[in-house]
Structure 1
Amino acid sequence: MHVEEICGTQVEFPFEPYECQKKFMRNVIEAIETSSNAALESPTGTGKTLSLLCASLAWLEKYKSFHKPKMIDQNGIINPVVANENSQLYPKIIYASRTHSQLQQVVRELNKTRYK
């Protein structure tokens, strides 16, 4: 895995990213951090799916590490809240696609990363 720091986020990529992939990931992270919409495009075969997955999942990991939910119990003791998979404590990433074969491609790309 290759680690690239993008907008203060450590993104792990399965190989050294090309400059266009770094730029794509930078745009993804900037859009997430500013709660903005982004219409990002890049030619076929430039690694859009992998770049989007790695950037967004790396950002989510960073967010979770800095935003540990805590709860104060009846004794005034701060306890970390244990988040389960159904918890709404953190932002969710929803990936949508038009066809099942496109979603299968996304899963194949995701399995190339450590974020799987």
Structure 2
Amino acid sequence: MTEQEAHARYLDDSNVLAAIGAWIAPRVQRVSIRLPIALAEAAVAAWNRDETGETGEETPDQYAIRDRAAELALIGLAISERGHLDGDDVVVVELHPTSVAAAILAAQSRDHQ
């Protein structure tokens, strides 16, 4: 198989994955997550930060890190809007599974560096 044929197959696979996602997405519900308050506060701080500057050219690694930072900010938004304290040290928030998956993937990515 040539490199071009392999990339065409990967594109087909990517399209099938997207179709699976499109079918699953409307059927998925939010998940209740319990976070230590320090992590919840850090996520809210990421949401409240003013990021107005240009990013300029980025390496793929820099883009991935910025993308994970954006995911953190969206979790912070969710906590700001619907999170609540449960005791003195835990915040409970319902997150969309995509946010949960982004956090898990970030942890796995960090573990493999």
What's the TM-score bracket when you normalise by the shorter of the two chains? 0.3 to 0.5
TM-score, normalised to structure 2's length?
A: 0.32
Normalized per residue, the structure richer in helix is 2
TM-score, normalised to structure 1's length?
A: 0.31
